[in-house]
Structure 1
Amino acid sequence: MTQIIRSLDEIGSGYDVLFCDLWGCLHNGRAPYPAAVAALQDFRRGGGRVVLMTNAPRPRKYVAEQLDRMGVPRDAWDEIVSSGDAAQDAMFAGAVGRRVWAIAQPKDEGFFADIPEEWQDAPPIQRVPLTEAEGIVCCGLFDDLTEAPEDYHTRLFLARERKLKLLCANPDVVVDLGEKRLYCAGALAELYEGLGGEVLYFGKPHAPIYDLARRRLGLDDAARILAVGDGIATDIAGAAGEGIDAIFVTGGLAATEFGTDVENPDPARLQEWLAMRMQAPRFAMGRLR
C-alpha cells in the first residue's frame, strides 16, 4: 500500500539520487514552488544528488535557461535530462529519416538547430512539408493554446497512409500552465497510434531517458534512486518499469481526484484511484516539500 508522507526529509536519507519531474512538481509552468525548491536544496545539502528529469522536447541547456528565467536556483539540482536530449539523438541518427515533417513551435528551434558534437558530420536533417517527408518529428502542437489533437486528424491519417514513423519528443499528453491545461506531443502520438501509425518514444516512461540519466551521473546498479512525479502514466509507470521507488505528487495533474485539500490527499480515494490504474508507488504526498 502506498504510504502518504508529509515531506521529503522523512525518507530522503534512504536514497542517493532523486529523479525529479519539473512541471507540476517543481513549478507550475510560470513560477517555482518555494517548498519544492527548498526540499531539493535540503536533499543536496544532505549529500544527495538531484536529476531534473523532464519530458520537455528541448535539449537540456534550453531547459536550464527556462528554469533560470523562472527563478529556480542552480543549487536545487545537479543535472538535467530531457526527453528532448534522448529524442534529438535518435533524430540525428536517422530514426525517422532525414527529411521530416516537424510539428513544433519556435521555442523548439534548438531541437533541430543545435547539432550535438557527435552528430556534426552526419547528413543534415531537413524540415519539409508532410507530402515530402520520410518521417515525422513531433515536439508538440503548432499552437498549444488554441489547438487540440483532433485538429490534426486529417494530416495524421494521410501520414499513416504513407506509413511514416512519428518520433515523439515529449510523451506527456497534457500539462498545466498555471490554471490552463494544454495538450502535448504525447496527445498527438496517441492519436497517431490510434490511427494505426508507428510511434517512437524517448521520454518517461520509456527506458532511454533513464539510461541517459544514469550515464550522465555515472550511476551503478547499487545507487539508491527515488523518482518524484505527478504523472501516473509517465513518472510513476516509468519508475515501476525501472524498478525504482517513487513518490506520487498528488497535487499535480490529478489534484482534483483526492479531495479538496491539495496538500493532504484523502487516503481512501488515493488507494482506489491508484488501484484503478494498476500502480502502487511506494510513497505519495500532496506537494513536493
Structure 2
Amino acid sequence: MSAEKTLPRKIESLQELAADYDALLCDVWGVIHNGYNLFPGVAEALQGWRENVGPVLLLTNAPRPAEAVQRRLDRMDCPRSAYDGILSSGDAARDMLTQRGAEGQVCYFVGASKDVDVLNGIDIEFAPAEDADFILLTGMSNDMEETLEDYADEIARWHELKLPLICANPDRIVQIGEQVIYCAGALAEIYENNGGEVIWLGKPYLPIYETGLTRLQKMTNMETPRILAIGDGFKTDIPGANAAELDVLFITGGLSETLTQESQTPEDVETILRDYDSYAHYFMKHLIW
C-alpha cells in the first residue's frame, strides 16, 4: 500500500481504481447514508465493485452490533448485495463487556435507548456510577437535543469517581440529514483531556483495522489483499486508514461538505486533512460506480 504523501487525485467514478485494489473497507455513516437516506448511486457503486473487483467490508463506529447496523441499512433499502460483511465498534464493545462480566466487574451504562442492542445477551451487572467499576459510553441519551454542556456535571462526577470509560463510538460528530450532532467520542475526549482514563474502540484505532484485514484476507483468499479504505471522518476514517497504511478515498460529500464546503480541489482536500494530521490518496463527492 502506498504511503507517499502527494496531493490527492480527484476521481469521477470508482471504476477508475478497480484495477489497483482487491477489496474495499468502507465507512457507513457519511459515505453510504446521511442518517436518513442513502446517497444516490452509492448502492450501485458498491454492487459494481463486488461484481467486478472483490469484497466490500463495511467498517463503522456505530456503538451497536453488526446485526443492528444491517437492520438500519435494510430500512433504507440498501441491498445486501452491496456488501459482504459489517464490522462495528459495537461488536468490539460487546467482546469487552463479555470479558469484564466474566471477571465480575460492574458496568455503568451511558447512552440512548437505540443503543441497548449492544447490551443484549451479555452476562454482566449494571449499576449506578457510584457502584460501578467502569463506564460504557455509547452516546448521549438524546443526541438530537442535548449538547456537550448538558453533560458537564455528569463528566465531573465521573472524574470524582475515577472511573475508566469505554467509548464505544469514537466519532465526535455525525451528520443526520442537515443536522450535525455530537457522538460519544466528543464526551470521551473531554473526559480524557481532563485526566480521565478512556479506552477507545473502533476507528481510528488499529485493533479494528487488524480485525478488518483478517476478515478481508479470508474473503479474498489472499494473504496481502490490496485494500482501499473509504471514509469521510477527519478524526476517524482518514487517520485510522493512514495508521493502518491503507490507501484512502476521501468522500467530500459527508462531513466535509457540511462543515467546510471547501473541498473542490486537491489543494482544498490536502488543507482540510492536514489540520487533522492525515492525508488521502483520492477524493470524490459521493461514491459512483
Deviation digits for residues 183-221 of structure 1 (CA, Å, limit 9, x no counterpart):
111011111112210100110001221122233344455
Partner of 1:232: 234
Does the aligned pair in 1 maintain the 2:28–2:60 contact within 8 Å?
Answer: yes
Q: Secondary structure at the match of 2:255?
A: coil
Could you say what the CA RMSD is over the residues aligned between the two structures, in angstroms?
A: 1.8
Looking at structure 2, the residues matched to 207 and 141 of structure 1 have their Cα atoms a distance apart, in angstroms, of 25
The higher relative CO (CA closer than 8 Å, separation ≥ 6) is in: 2
Deviation digits for residues 71-123 of structure 1 (CA, Å, limit 9, x no counterpart):
100100000000101121112211997211101112112111134xxxxxxxx
Unaligned stretches of 5+ in structure 2? 1-6
Looking at structure 2, the residues matched to 176 and 276 of structure 1 have their Cα atoms a distance apart, in angstroms, of 20
Partner of 2:3: none
Partner of 1:168: 167
Matched AA of 2:110: I
Q: Is the counterpart of residue 130 in structure 1 residue 129 in structure 2?
A: yes
Matched AA of 1:257: T
Partner of 2:225: 223
Q: CA deviation at 1:46?
A: 0.6
Q: Is the counterpart of residue 139 in structure 1 residue 138 in structure 2?
A: yes
Corresponding residue to 1:46 among 36, 48, 52? 52
Does the aligned pair in 1 maintain the 2:216–2:225 contact within 8 Å?
Answer: no
Looking at structure 1, the residues matched to 37 and 261 of structure 2 have their Cα atoms a distance apart, in angstroms, of 24
Looking at structure 2, the residues matched to 274 and 109 of structure 1 have their Cα atoms a distance apart, in angstroms, of 34
Change (3 A) 1:4 1:164: same
Does the aligned pair in 2 maintain the 1:232–1:248 contact within 8 Å?
Answer: no
Corresponding residue to 2:20 among 14, 19, 22? 14
Q: Secondary structure at the match of 1:45?
A: helix
Matched AA of 2:249: I
The alignment covers a number of residue pairs equal to 277
Does the aligned pair in 2 maintain the 1:166–1:199 contact within 8 Å?
Answer: yes
Q: Secondary structure at the match of 1:11?
A: helix
Partner of 1:257: 260
Does the aligned pair in 1 maintain the 2:239–2:279 contact within 8 Å?
Answer: no
Looking at structure 2, the residues matched to 99 and 227 of structure 1 have their Cα atoms a distance apart, in angstroms, of 37
Q: Secondary structure at the match of 1:226?
A: strand
Q: CA deviation at 1:17?
A: 1.0
Deviation digits for residues 5-40 of structure 1 (CA, Å, limit 9, x no counterpart):
111111122111111111111011111113111110
Q: CA deviation at 1:47?
A: 3.2
Partner of 1:113: 120
Looking at structure 2, the residues matched to 98 and 133 of structure 1 have their Cα atoms a distance apart, in angstroms, of 8
Higher mean displacement: 58-67 or 206-215? 206-215
The structure 1 segments of at least 4 consecutive aligned residues displaced by more than 4 Å after TM superposition are: none
Partner of 1:203: 202
Q: Secondary structure at the match of 1:102?
A: strand
Looking at structure 2, the residues matched to 193 and 97 of structure 1 have their Cα atoms a distance apart, in angstroms, of 25
Looking at structure 2, the residues matched to 165 and 221 of structure 1 have their Cα atoms a distance apart, in angstroms, of 37
Change (3 A) 1:38 1:189: same
Looking at structure 1, the residues matched to 20 and 9 of structure 2 have their Cα atoms a distance apart, in angstroms, of 15
Change (3 A) 1:70 1:184: same
Q: Secondary structure at the match of 2:41?
A: helix
Partner of 2:276: 277
Does the aligned pair in 2 maintain the 1:229–1:249 contact within 8 Å?
Answer: yes
Matched AA of 2:115: D
Q: CA deviation at 1:288?
A: 1.6
Partner of 2:244: 242
Looking at structure 1, the residues matched to 267 and 22 of structure 2 have their Cα atoms a distance apart, in angstroms, of 31
Change (3 A) 1:97 1:221: farther
Q: Is the counterpart of residue 85 in structure 1 residue 88 in structure 2?
A: no
TM-score, length-normalised on structure 2?
A: 0.91
Corresponding residue to 1:31 among 21, 28, 37? 37
Partner of 1:118: none
Q: CA deviation at 1:230?
A: 0.2
**Overall identity of the aligned pairs, in %:** 42
